[in-house]
């Protein structure tokens, strides 16, 4: 789930910024069976905010399913992005 959300952030954050996980919450609901699949999504408003600002934060939705189609865990990731250069005083 972290990789899926990180990939979607990395694909949308500006080239002059660095994405950083600020918070993550995972609730284990039931036992997973077989391979897991995580799909992260951003809304159009979130994408525009990430691309137009040099820093901010966004909650990234992610759905994790197992081979049987169940969702054994619920996740919420808060990602922030900051300028990649040295800090200015």
Q: Is the pLDDT at 89 greater than 70, yes or no?
A: no
In this predicted structure, what is the pLDDT of residue 85?
79
pLDDT, mean of residues 2-25: 95
List the CATH number of the domain containing 32.
3.10.129.10
In this predicted structure, what is the pLDDT of residue 37?
96
Q: Which domain holds residue 30?
A: 2-83
Q: How many beta carbons lie within 10 A of that of residue 8, not counting itself? A: 23
Tell me, yes or no, whether 88 lies in a domain.
no
pTM for the whole structure = 0.85
In this predicted structure, what is the pLDDT of residue 7?
95
pLDDT, mean of residues 52-74: 95
70: which residues sit within 8 A by CB, 6+ positions away? 30, 32, 33
The total number of structural domains in the chain stands at: 1
pLDDT, mean of residues 1-17: 94
């Amino acid at each position: 789930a972290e990789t899926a959300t990180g990939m979607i952030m990395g694909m949308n954050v500006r080239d002059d910024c660095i994405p950083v996980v600020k918070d993550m919450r995972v609730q284990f609901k039931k036992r997973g069976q077989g391979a897991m699949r995580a799909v992260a999504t951003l809304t159009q408003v979130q994408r525009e905010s990430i691309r137009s600002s040099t820093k901010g934060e966004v909650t990234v939705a992610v759905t994790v399913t197992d081979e049987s189609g169940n969702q054994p865990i619920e996740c919420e990731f808060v990602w922030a992005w900051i300028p990649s250069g040295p800090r200015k005083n």
